[in-house]
Structure 1
């Protein structure tokens, strides 16, 4: 006799990748700007943090270029936690909750394990990036590590186009890896309490399957950051930093939806 099937409830949910177009990144920016205006004090705090990091990085590069890589490593440690605070601000506004700086500063404490794993992945990529950069420098600078002046001279000297091209390719590859791994993974960890591996895979899936949209999104991020740092004293980061943070939350929310998993079926117990 064929046994009846009974559903087994599951509290989990499956992520569903949404269709995206070239208009979506602009919509994310508009939504991010709205979030910034809704909580300008929170935005100013995080913008000030990003601005201070940029000033310190510039000072280290100009005066102690050999410590630049170490400082960048520190930015990789601090940056994700700062970004998560902005995502929390957008999340709370989306849900109609009261926004507060204290809540944004402590939102990561319940997700420290997942965030710690993701930061380790970022640090590994950054260390590999640094090693690859050293190889490029070793090929073009035979007198040891270059100083700040020699790096700038190499970049702006047309005779060193091979160095510039190779360095740009190497940097582009690692930048693409970092972007692909993190573009939605941190907001997903905040929103769903997802482990770092699952969030990273989802982020890579998004970039692989919605490549055109994500290329435009990455280009907009680069363009806005460059415009911000080219202003005197990089003051543009006071606005662009939190703006992109809020917009990245909407990039995540627009890229994935969540639906209950189809319940597994199992045979009903035989009648007594």
Structure 2
């Protein structure tokens, strides 16, 4: 595995990637919590903004099951970019600089070009997933769309739509895994150093390849925490999104020299 990822150096000038223990993500969460406590106002501001936006999107998609599920899963795809302001807060806090909400916006402007390109990439992926989600519904789901209050029970847990559920999870999981591998440290890297998007994405892929155990734990923690945010009607997202965002910064600093 290491040898195959080392071949990336033939085409990209990649930074060295460290290997960490599988339990290391728990430490990232602890450090992320420390960052959030030290910058509570700015951190919760981002959490509140994205919780409100997420709630409005889900409310709009309530009557459209394929769009509702795509919106929830799509949140995980765009999450790395949505947390860019939180990475900037952690970066400034680490350097002893002012790390308020307005200060983080200034940092975002400084890296606007790179973030714009990365945002375009994620938007393309998100639109592709929305179309794939609609196609899967059209191919495998032939019943009358259930009320959203019972949607997951009727579709995912009843056993009546096994082919749909398997197809949805396989296609969505494969896409999410690819985006996770290319994104897990790429946006923090763009915020921290003068790097192009492709180099940052290849570094992220290498970090995942060298740390499959830790990355599997980290992915599971992200899904669990953000899923809890959705389960609380986005209220928990006010705290959980900043926690994951700050922790992701420390994941980047831990993995990439």
Q: TM-score, normalised by structure 2?
A: 0.84
Which residue of the partner structure matches residue 192 of structure 1? 193
Paired residues of 1:183 and 1:203 also in contact (CA < 8 A): yes
Which residue of the partner structure matches residue 92 of structure 1? 92
Which residue of the partner structure matches residue 10 of structure 1? none
Shifted more, 246-255 versus 155-164: the winner is 155-164
> Residue 209 of structure 1: CA displacement?
1.9
How far apart are the structure 1 equivalents of 2:24 and 2:76?
A: 27
Gaps of 5+ in 2: 1-12
The one-character-per-residue Cα deviations of 1:28-71 (angstroms, maximum 9, x if unpaired) are 00100000000110111011012112211221121455765997
How far apart are the structure 2 equivalents of 1:27 and 1:77?
A: 23
Residue aligned with 2:160, SS: helix
The one-character-per-residue Cα deviations of 1:88-132 (angstroms, maximum 9, x if unpaired) are 111111111122211112212222221122112212222222232
Shifted more, 127-136 versus 98-107: the winner is 127-136
1:57 is aligned to 2:57: yes
Which residue of the partner structure matches residue 231 of structure 2? 230
Residue aligned with 2:99, SS: coil
1:156 is aligned to 2:157: yes
How far apart are the structure 1 equivalents of 2:217 and 2:41?
A: 29
Residue aligned with 2:16, SS: strand
Q: 1:180 to 1:148 in 2, by over 3 A?
A: farther
Q: 1:21 to 1:80 in 2, by over 3 A?
A: closer
- Count of aligned pairs between the two proteins: 243
Which residue of the partner structure matches residue 265 of structure 1? none
Gaps of 5+ in 1: 1-12, 258-272
Q: 1:169 to 1:79 in 2, by over 3 A?
A: closer
How far apart are the structure 2 equivalents of 1:212 and 1:34?
A: 24
